[in-house]
Structures are given as structure tokens and as C-alpha cells.
Structure 1
Amino acid sequence: MTPLHTQMASLAVAMGFTLCVCAEQTLTLASGEWSPLTGEHIKEQGICTHIIKEALKKQGYKIQSSYFPWKRSYKLVVEGAYDIGPCWIKNSQRVEEILFSKEPILVMKKVFFTVKTFLLTGALMPMSESTRLLSPGVTPMAKDLIKK
């Protein structure tokens, strides 16, 4: 500390104030490219990444993002090398390996467009499977860091 900072700190303590230097804790995010939801070179690194960063920022966390092929980013989160992976579709295998947010950050519906004269019988995708929930995946270690 410079002499001026030392004097100011001494004065603040003498006046009964407590000085607190709080550093943000950094969580790491591993993601793939899926524009406009997540991507290294798009605005706010995509809507999923932006939502995650803003939510955790309000809890005092800083997010450091890195981008890899999707399989590698998932493996890095499962192994604990990274804390968070955004925008993964919840399935039975992933539920066994990582923790998902209680509520999805986005809900997407897959649809298929065709000309009126071409009738679809529903063979492409049953309606019950057309809606997928996207949640950020979190390692068990990172779960303990995030405030409830």
C-alpha cells in the first residue's frame, strides 16, 4: 500500500469502519459452438452463456469461458477440469454424470415446416419428444460453490 492508502485505512479503522477487500471467485465454463445460443465470437457469447454469466455475477462470481468441440467440453466438465457447461439437453446418461439446474434456462421446441400438399403422419418425431429443456450442467464440486 502507498503511504496515502495506509493513512486512509488507519483513519477508517480509527473511525470504526471495517475495510473489506472482497475478490470475485471465478468459475470456468467449457462450451461448444451453437449460435445463437453459445459461441466464442458472437454477442455476449450467446444467450445461454449470457444468462449464466449474469445470474452468477449477481451472486459474486466471475465466469471464464473456453470453447472446444462439444464432446471435449462435456468431458472436461465431467472430469472436473471445468465447472460449468451451458445448454446441454438433459438425458439419462448426463443426469448420472453431472448436475443440472433445477429450472431450465431455455425451452426449445423442434418443428418441421413443409408445403401444405405434403402430409406428415408424425413418423419423424413424436410430439412428446419435440420439446427439449436446456440447462447448464454443473460439476458436483461447483454446486457447493454456488449460493442457493
Structure 2
Amino acid sequence: MRVYHTIIFAVLIFFRIVPSDVRAETIAFGVGEWSPFVGEKLHDKGLYSKLVAEFFEKNGFQVALEFYPWRRSLELVRSGTLPATFPWSFTEDRQPDFYYPKRPIGFLNDVIYYRRDRFPNGLTINSINDIRSKGLSAVGISDYWYQNPLKEAGIEYHEVSYDEQAWKMLALGRVDIFIENDVVGDRRKASVLQNMSTVIDRSEPFRRVPVFILFSKKHPLGKKMMDVWDARPSVN
């Protein structure tokens, strides 16, 4: 019994004398469903989730992922409730509220999805201006990078909260195009539309962009986490 009490006493003393910054801090990321990069039911919670979690755990943090709709994740980090969210592309309007690190998680391709019967010869798009000049209507998800550029260009734009709504609007011919990452889009097209997915085709990539972890400017760990992340090697 004396040995047991001695061990307990030693453990208590350890946690009293070891500085808090030496112990592992738990950091929570606000994320959403974006297979294969992030997903609650995916192996390791997705490719990017694994990369981010392994990096921060090797640097002394305990990592937790909290799954919400993407807009909710962004707002929780904006308000400082959570310290970070990923993956997001760069937009100037987010800069006042978020730290953008120097190092991206990776690079992704955006493509244009469209109905085959609407554009039987394919569709070549190289910019937002091309969408406007062709008089195309678009559907998009709230708070995605293209939202403001499409609106500012005067393009007919239909905003939805979930990608299921976007895919169904496209398949039913209510809009001309839907912009999405090629890897995610090919998976989600098949999952959401099933047999109807064959009516949808896509363009060649028109945009290759880095995607980032966004760190909160209002959360006390936001800047610290970004500095730790930026110490990692660059991603090509």
C-alpha cells in the first residue's frame, strides 16, 4: 500500500511541476465530408486528415476532428470556438479572420461538370471570364472559393448548402455547370446520382490550386499551431 501511495504521489507531483506547454495539448479541427480527403467514416478519417493528425501528433499535440457542415466548421473557427479547419483554398475575403500558413496541405485540380447532352462536343473553360462569355449558369456550395468571383462577374449563380443539391440541379438541367475538385467530384457524382451519373461529363482541369489549413485569429492556439505547421517541409 505504501508503494501504491508513493506512485500516486509521484504522478501528482509530475503534473504539478511539469510546465503545461510540455504536456500534449488537445487541438480540435472543424471539418466536413469531402471524400477521399476528409470523411468521418473513411480510413484514418481521410487522406488529408491522416496527414494533418500525424504531423501535429509528432509535434506534441493530441488531435481531434469535429465534423460539421462546412459552413459551420468555418464559422466555428472564425469565431475562435475552434482553432483550425481544413482544407480550404485561398480567398482574400477570409484573410481578416484567418491565418493562412505558408505551407499548403497539397495541390488540387478544379474542373467543370456539365450535362453531356447540353455540350455534346465538350466544354472548354479556362477562367471565370470564359463562364461569363459563354452565358453559362452555375450552381455552387456556400462559402466555396468561386462564390464571390461568380457573383462579381454577373454570372447566374445558384447557391446551395450541400453538394447533393448541386449534383441534382445539374443532372436535372436546372443549371449549366458545377465547379468541383476532379477527385471528389468523380466520387460524389457516382454516389449521389447513381444511374443518372452517366449523363454528366467534365472538362479538363482549369485551375490547379494549393489548399490550406485555416487557423483562427481569435483562438489562443491559432498562431502557435500555424507556426508549428509552417516548420514542415514544402509540398510540391
User: Cα distance, 1:132 vs. partner?
Assistant: 1.9
- Pick 1 or 2: higher relative contact order, CA cutoff 8 A, min separation 6: 2
TM-score normalised according to structure 1 size: 0.75
Does the residue aligned with 1:33 lie in a helix, a strand or coil? coil
TM-score normalised according to structure 2 size: 0.50
User: Cα distance, 1:145 vs. partner?
Assistant: 3.1
Alignment of 1:98-109 (within 5 A): 98-109=98-109
Does the residue aligned with 2:62 lie in a helix, a strand or coil? strand
Deviations 1:28-86 (A, max 9, x none): 11111111111111111111111111111111001111101111110000101111101
Does the residue aligned with 1:110 lie in a helix, a strand or coil? strand
Paired residues, number:
139
User: Cα distance, 1:95 vs. partner?
Assistant: 2.1
Give aligned-pair identity as a percent.
22
* Mean Cα deviation higher: 129-138 or 83-92: 129-138
Does the residue aligned with 2:93 lie in a helix, a strand or coil? helix
**RMSD across aligned C-alpha pairs, in angstroms?**
3.4
Q: 1:69 to 1:60 in 2, by over 3 A?
A: same
Rounded Cα–Cα distance in structure 2 between residues aligned with 1:90 and 1:2: 60
Structure 1 gap ranges (5+): 11-18
What is residue 176 of structure 2 aligned with on the other side?
none
What is residue 122 of structure 1 aligned with on the other side?
125
Rounded Cα–Cα distance in structure 2 between residues aligned with 1:20 and 1:71: 39
* Structure number having the greater helix percentage: 2
User: Cα distance, 1:131 vs. partner?
Assistant: 1.2
Structure 2 gap ranges (5+): 11-16, 131-203, 232-236
Deviations 1:74-113 (A, max 9, x none): 0000101111101011111122211122111110112459
User: Cα distance, 1:121 vs. partner?
Assistant: 4.4
